[in-house]
Structure 1
Amino acid sequence: MNAQDRALEPAGWRQGRIWTYLIALLASAAALFASFALAAETLQLARHPGIKLDCDVNATVSCSTVALSWQSELVRFGSLSLPNAFLGIAAESVFTTLAVVGLAGCRQPAWLTRCTWLGSLTALAYAYWLLSQSMFVIKALCPWCLSLMAASTMQFMAFSHSTVTVQALPRTDGPWPGLARSLRKYYRLGFDLMVDAVWVAALVALIAWKSGSALL
């Protein structure tokens, strides 16, 4: 690494291993808890069809409406289906473990770092897809699904941060040196804070615009 590249390296407590992986751990644990809650509600509906769940507030804020839709069971094996909540438990257990490994300072191979980032991106894409389906197709919001969406957003932000600042990927001596330098500058100058704040504000504004009256 030359002097120019060393000058671009993010520095400070917010760029370090403890902070980035601690946020990833908290977000993954929150997503895991939400997945367990969704799984418990799915079992409740299976055992007691027609039951009113605690989070069934009104026609718009209703966990059971979302849970009984086809969107909540994407994986099917013939006539059998696997609720998404159980996939969430499996995936978030892995993310929680990876966050603990990173927090402990264990050296991760590049392929594992890339898979972690791609996995968090996949989880984020699914959470946002379900949000769009809930808001515009099912026309009902599930509080636990919203919690999972928020946790998945923070999880993706944290793993993206750690990928660049802790694991140093992509590498400046790799096939995309320009991208690597741009990402390091992005975090070093704190641009991620502005982007993340706008991102979260846009999500809150969208939900408030579409279903704000029902949430109050």
Structure 2
Amino acid sequence: MTTPRTRHVGYGIWLIIAAVLGWWAAFQLTIEKFYVLENPGETTSCYVSVMLQCDKNLGSWQGAVFGFPNPLIGVTAWMAVLVMGVAVLSGVRFPRWFWGLFGVGVLGAFIFVCWLIGQSIYSLHTLCPWCMATWAVTIPTFFATTLHLVRNGTLGRSTAARERAGRLMVWVPLATILAYATVIAMAQLAGLDLLGEVIGMIF
């Protein structure tokens, strides 16, 4: 067992929040996919403009990389994150290998999301609102989980490294904001007025 006796409440709460938001986004995308299949030629409810829409993403090969709609991965995977969040809050202690598997899953999700961001901006030239919601929670979940795996001893046994990772947790929000800014900059440089589209959608 590697998880310290102290319950990492903040991390557990974040996993629950991220799981709920991520699952809801994936669920909404799944509904939109069903709608498109049942109503060919119709636009989805998340269609805002040519640059901000779900239709093009859902209809592309990138939207079904493994032969089925990507949102189905989220509907399943975010439930695992929810269970982990509840377990962390409950003080459940998992063996090192279990945390390692969870870390691999989160890393895989982060890599997949980074690839989807690149495909969306540079290949499809459009941004999907529900996809962006998924990106928004996956990125900080990766940062927080990586630090947590160092903090709980999964990634090394050094006491100094564990303490340092614990202190770095407070910087996850800033790292997340910088990551968001990077995505916005990428979209702007690619000719997609992401910031203007989002502001227009809100107001």
**Distance in 2 between the 1:23 and 1:190 partners?**
12
Q: Which has the higher contact order (CA 8 A, sep 6+)?
A: 1
After superposing the two structures, state which structure 1 stretch, 50-59 or 30-39, moved more. Answer: 50-59
**Distance in 2 between the 1:204 and 1:44 partners?**
29
**Distance in 1 between the 2:169 and 2:149 partners?**
16
Q: Which runs of 4+ in 1 moved over 4 A?
A: none
TM-score with structure 1 length normalisation?
0.79
Percent identity between the two aligned chains:
23
Matched, 1:93 2:114: no
Letter in 2 for 1:205: A
**Distance in 1 between the 2:169 and 2:82 partners?**
26
**Residue 164 (structure 2) aligned to one of 185, 193, 208:** 185
Question: What is the root-mean-square deviation of aligned Cα atoms in Å?
Answer: 2.3
**Residue 123 (structure 2) aligned to one of 112, 129, 137:** 137
What's the counterpart of residue 9 of structure 2? 18
Structure 2 segments unaligned to the other structure (5+ residues) = 1-5
Instruction: Determine helix, strand or coil for the equivalent of 2:91.
Output: coil
**Residue 112 (structure 1) aligned to one of 73, 98, 102:** 98
Alignment of 1:116-195 (within 5 A): 116-165=102-151, 167-172=152-157, 177=158, 181-182=160-161, 184-188=163-167, 192-193=171-172, 194-195=174-175
Q: Deviations over 1:109-144 (max 9, x none)?
A: 111111111111111111111111111001111000
Instruction: Determine helix, strand or coil for the equivalent of 1:93.
Output: helix
TM-score with structure 2 length normalisation?
0.84
What's the counterpart of residue 205 of structure 1? 185
**Distance in 1 between the 2:44 and 2:178 partners?**
34
Q: Is the 8 A contact 2:107 2:142 kept in 1?
A: yes
Q: Is the 8 A contact 1:55 1:62 kept in 2?
A: yes
Residues 109 and 129 of structure 1, relative CA distance in 2, 3 Å threshold: same
- The offset of 1:154, in angstroms, is 1.9
Letter in 1 for 2:155: P
What's the counterpart of residue 3 of structure 2? none
How many residue pairs are counted as aligned between the two chains?
Answer: 191
Instruction: Determine helix, strand or coil for the equivalent of 1:199.
Output: helix
**Distance in 2 between the 1:214 and 1:66 partners?**
17
- The offset of 1:197, in angstroms, is 4.0
Matched, 1:42 2:33: yes
Q: Is the 8 A contact 2:51 2:127 kept in 1?
A: yes
Letter in 2 for 1:207: A
Structure 1 segments unaligned to the other structure (5+ residues) = 1-14, 77-81
